[in-house]
Amino acid sequence: MSTEFVSAGSLGEALDWLASLGSDAAVLAGGTDLMLQLRRDEQRAGTLLHIERLRELGEVRRSDALAIGALVTHRKLARAPELRPCHGAICAAAALVGGWQTQNVGTVGGNLCNASPAADLVPPLLVHGARVGLESRARGRRELALAEFLLDRRRTRREPDELLTEVLLEPVAPRTADTFMKVGRRSAMEVAIASLALRLTLAPDDATITAVRVATGAVGPVACRAVATEALLTGARLGDAIARAAAAQLSQEIRPIDDARGSASYRRAVIGRVLVQALDDCAARIRARRQRGHGDDR
């Protein structure tokens, strides 16, 4: 089957093409996943709709919410000064997506729409309450929580005539720190065996957990929040006992499989240790800010 190529010069033109082509179109930006899938015959498309010229989707901006355009590359995301103060885990994850070649062309929108359970960006976006903005010519704009948008491996709630245009992040409370940790044979250029993002908020006593979010990747059919582990930690005082209990809970909450990268039993064993390390890391940074005299500053 031959594949046609069209290039949209504006968002309106891209939406017109999608309205016309529907499921026959595959949206192409960096192409780091799509081109491989087409070559392997894992995906088919009658038309490739190229959207890389839509510069309005290539920025990180602040308005009512912090917004990441769908065409922001991993490289740009890793260095975004708008994100570093409160959303550093997202920057850290972006810096671990493949090598520099992939980071220079791969985009946030492509990473999310590919819906890999091992996608590095998804866990930190989940702990920051990310919402995705979708636009279509027929229905206009809608927003979905990222957790609702992702259905399964390579399955999302994006309709064939919709384009993912941006990712919106919620504000972060004072006395909060976040982190992203990835387990793999190498720290980068490697699909994760397991990954975890944590966002932790402590009370002024530097010990009581007032809010916590935990999200995992590569340990189930879709990256997701660990709500039972979050419930166990919320309101507790940090210490070895609660960390061990949370690690045990998380190892039971995930749904890993055996594959070429690692066994289900290994994933269950390692994810708890990663959580303990993430709790220590976030708590240490919150306390360090207090000691430096920053008070509630992040």
Any domain includes 221:
yes
Give the pLDDT of residue 47.
86
For residue 122, tell me if it sits in a domain.
Answer: no
Q: How far apart are CA 24 and CA 47, in angstroms?
A: 6
- Give the whole-angstrom CA distance, residue 255 versus residue 257: 7
pLDDT number for residue 72: 97
Query: Residue 242 is part of a domain; what is its CATH number?
Result: 3.30.390.50
- Domain of 237, in residue numbers: 176-291
Tell me the pairing of strands 176-183 and 131-136: unpaired
Cα(25)–Cα(31) distance, rounded to whole angstroms?
14
Q: Is residue 155 part of a domain?
A: no
From the centroid of its chain, how far is CA 70? 12
What CATH number has the domain bearing residue 34? 3.30.43.10
One digit per residue, the tens of pLDDT, for the chain of length 298 reads 577 888 999 999 999 999 999 888 888 887 677 666 656 666 676 788 889 999 999 999 987 789 999 999 999 999 999 999 999 999 999 999 878 788 888 899 999 999 999 999 999 999 999 999 999 999 999 999 999 999 998 899 999 999 999 999 999 999 999 999 999 876 555 789 999 999 999 999 999 999 999 999 999 999 999 999 999 999 999 999 999 999 999 999 999 999 988 999 999 999 999 999 999 999 999 999 888 875 554 4
The three-class DSSP label of residue 94 is helix
Last residue in a domain, options 9, 33, 50:
50
The confidence score (pLDDT) of residue 250 equals 98
CA-to-CA distance for 3 and 6, rounded, in angstroms?
10
Q: Which residues contact 120 (CB under 8 A, 6 or more apart)?
A: 93, 94, 96, 97, 111, 180, 182, 192, 195, 217
Torsions phi, psi for 29 (to 5 deg): -125, -95
Note the pLDDT of residue 34.
Answer: 63
Task: Report pTM.
Answer: 0.93
d(CA 253, CA 56): 40
Domain total for the chain? Answer: 2
